[in-house]
Amino acid sequence: MFEEEYKLEFFKENGFFRNKCIGCGEYFWTLDQELDLCQDTPCVEFGFIGDPPFNKKISVPEMREYFLNFFEQREHTRVERYPVIARWRDDVFLVHASIYDFQPHATSGRVKPPANPLVVSQPCIRLPDIDEVGKTGKHTTSFEMMGHHAFNSAEEYVYWKNETVDYCHQMLVEMGVDEKEIVYKEHPWIGGGNAGPSVEVNIRGLEVATLVFMNMEKNEEGEVELDGDSYSPLKLNVVDTGYGLERWVWMSDGAPTIYDSIYGEVIDFICKKLGVKHDLDDPSYRNLIEEYTRLSSKRGTDFTDKVLVDELISRLEGYEEGDVVETLERLRSIYTIADHSKTIALMLSDGVVPSNVEEGYLARMVIRRTLRQMDPLEGSLDLVELISKQFQVFGDILRESDVVYDMIHSEVERYRETMDRGKRLVKRDLRGMEGDELSLDKLIDYYDTHGIHPTIVKELAEDQDVIVDVPDNFNTLLAEMHGEPEAETVEEKEEYDLPETEILYYKEPAVQKFEAEVVHVEEGKVILNKSAFYPEGGGQLSDEGWLKHGDEIIEVDYVEKKGNSIVHHFDGELKVGDMVTGEINWDRRMALTRNHTATHLIISAARKVLGDHIWQKGAHKSVESARLDISHYKRISYQELKEIERLANKMVLDAIPVTKENLSRDEAEKRFGFELYQGGVPTSEIIRVVHISDVRDYDAQACGGTHVENTSHIGAIKILNSQRIQDGVERLVYSAGMSTVEHMQNMDELLRETTEVFSVDREELPVTAKRFFNEWKERGKELDKLKFYRSMAVAEELLPGESVEGVEFVVDEVDLDNKEMLSVAERLTSEDHRVVLLASKGENAQLVFSRSDNLDINMAEVLRIAAREVKGGGGGSPKTAQGGGKDAKGRERALDVARKEVLKKIK
């Protein structure tokens, strides 16, 4: 496919030949007519290791700057890198390539790119190959994609295929590469909803660049089919190039692995902490790694494979299989830790908050994989110190902050707690599964639910004789499952053949009454030719109000938008042509408006207090209050809540203008950044931006709600409460204006009533409450002592029990509470060969069953069976179980059933 697309004038004019690779069967272009391999792995081994084709060794910063300057000198505009979390898109979580920065808006032609042509070095994160990191010499989870891009339209031609390939060729020759070693391999490209022909640029086995000529977009009605999807022509011809910064540095260095080229300083730090040597000046040691990397590029990635290891040993001198495997296993962990810790630092410093969902899931997965690699290693390696080292080495692209370190501390602590708790849960779950094999779905569930990786499940399962087959690509499967947002159910777009409404709530935001004509009526719904009623949207409830027609007043109880029409729900009689006076319930509108604008102040204050990682995860604005869900890695403290509230109210008192502008997407992003999309990503080219600005910018968002003209119009803001609604997401509930006044009055009334109960002044209330609480606690302790002594007495009264089959049975109904029965049971079963079955007297039947340690009886199972007699249930440990039910009449039967069940098990 695309065969004609590859017949470039550049190839023709410069004497290139089109050959077919005898290894993979794909076509490539070369200056060497005799070349019969495409120079891509696994068709060839890496041929640059120890023998770099570049004329000098180049560092990461030098390579980045060289590339950017090269294209700036060729009239490209340098664009600053984007965050690795794709805030401007709703179809992906993380940036995988530099073109992601401009998809789908610029590549579709709907929005102008930030420059044309442009050049950028974009940090990216790709996790589908995570299981290959450390196994091969080339796979990384994070990297920089250097790219130059041009957007050709019918009105503006920039450059296309010939110039793109020529630029690449010039740069490689300038680097000292022999032209005959540069191979351009034909390869169709698909990504991000777009497609097109591309050439992969290979040198001595390493792909150093991909030159994509994007000219199609995914379209159900398209005539071209690729990988099961249909595509149609794009409005633009987009030059999309990707040059792997780290690969170019590796190619210039010829080190044994890409990790040694990029993470050399970090690897030295890790080895020093572990007390191990990684001496690449040792010829024998270096040769081992070089040969392994060459072989793994051609043979596969599993270094425990005997064929691979045997072949590796045959190339070396003085190595045995055990030494090779041990060395490579240790190196794999070191390389993985070096790679993953850089990715963690990049994700967290760019605003990703570890959690169990979305991009947070991916961050936590990488963190925990790193910790699992660190656990078996002896030494003083600490993840926080390692992240600090990454900030030191890669400070040019990483943003160091105390928040990142705090997140790491929290994640490490959470990991340890999860491991302890998860192991217990899995052990319990595996009981009784002897001989069974755990499914992949079950392994995934153990990881997602309990945080336990299959390798740990396998260790636990060995004691239970349960079969566990851990897939080599398990982490890759997780990354693929959680790597993109769940596709929303695509519903057939409803076509609205309705009259358009002139919208007044933006044009005349202060209008409370307006005259309009009825242009459409259906049962319970009416459309006017113009309206000031705000429809529900953006988390804000709709306006309510009235339509006056003659002497009739018709109530409007809900308003929605369909297409370009404002639909008013009403209960009355109207017909097309009627003239009405619309009137907004202004008190309600202003309450909603104040709470909505307060949301902007709250999130701005939260970002200042908690950090720039704060991102809106949801919001709702009602009349009495509003709520805001934000990404955060721990509970918000009381002091932090007070500070957020203080800053929000300071913005109110500062009387800052609230400006609304309609801006092009490109202009809006340039002025305000991607924080614009806190409330979601609009699809239109023109964005309504609401920003609160004076000398400093406090908040700017793409927002379609109603807002006050000045922050002073909001009135007092009060945070009512906060709560964790899911892992990594905190909810703030607050009120503004009169709602705050009403809330404070309610709190004042509660305080007044409380002081009357205690018969003290307000100032004395804390001390008085504390005194009463302490007295209550002391009385509780005395009561517990009395109950303990009573349980001792009851225990003595219950002895001796009935002896059956060498076991003493203590079976009785007692006038004790649950805690006392447990105390009695514990006391009595401290001696061997005893079973205690107790039921409480009273309206409800509480059951406590226990046995001595030397008896092998699962009392939890006994209780579950017996509790049916009281129409209840229960549980516990094999030694002691408790439960009960509402049918007190069945307690005697329950005890009898329990006794019989125990007898079955001891006979």
Distance in Å from the first CA to the final CA of the chain: 77
Output the pLDDT for position 492: 41
Per-residue pLDDT of 820-875, as tens digits, reads 888 888 888 888 888 899 998 877 788 999 998 888 889 899 998 998 898 888 88
What is the spatial order of strands in the sheet that 880-885 belongs to?
A: 802-804, 807-814, 834-840, 845-851, 880-885, 872-876
Six token digits for residue 844: 């409800």
Output the pLDDT for position 567: 95
Nearest by Cα to 450 from 476, 478, 432, 425: 425
Buried residues in 470-480 as b, exposed as e (16+ CB within 10 A)? eeeebbbbbbe
Measured CA to CA in angstroms, residue 742 lies from 155, 624, 738 at distances of: 60, 9, 6
Q: How far apart are CA 605 and CA 732, in angstroms?
A: 12
Nearest by Cα to 666 from 115, 89, 104: 115
Side chain identity, residue 111:
V
List the chain residues with pLDDT less than 50: 489-493
Q: How far apart are CA 810 and CA 812, in angstroms?
A: 7
Nearest by Cα to 261 from 137, 127, 389: 137
Per-residue pLDDT of 622-656, as tens digits, reads 999 999 999 999 999 999 999 999 999 999 999 99
Output the pLDDT for position 151: 95
pTM value? 0.81
* Contact predicate 598/717, CB 8 Å: yes
Nearest by Cα to 212 from 381, 398, 372, 2: 2
Output the pLDDT for position 525: 93
Side chain identity, residue 795:
A
Partners of residue 28 on adjacent β-strands: 19, 185
Six token digits for residue 236: 């633009």
Measured CA to CA in angstroms, residue 279 lies from 174, 260, 338, 574 at distances of: 32, 11, 16, 88
Q: How far apart are CA 20 and CA 3, in angstroms?
A: 13
Measured CA to CA in angstroms, residue 511 lies from 59, 471, 484, 507 at distances of: 63, 64, 44, 9
> Dihedral sign, CA of 285, 289, 295, 300?
positive
Side chain identity, residue 774:
N
Question: Which DSSP state fits 131?
Answer: G
Measured CA to CA in angstroms, residue 67 lies from 73, 172, 209, 879 at distances of: 10, 11, 12, 70
Six token digits for residue 643: 């500070």
Cis, peptide link before residue 800, omega less than 30° from 0:
yes
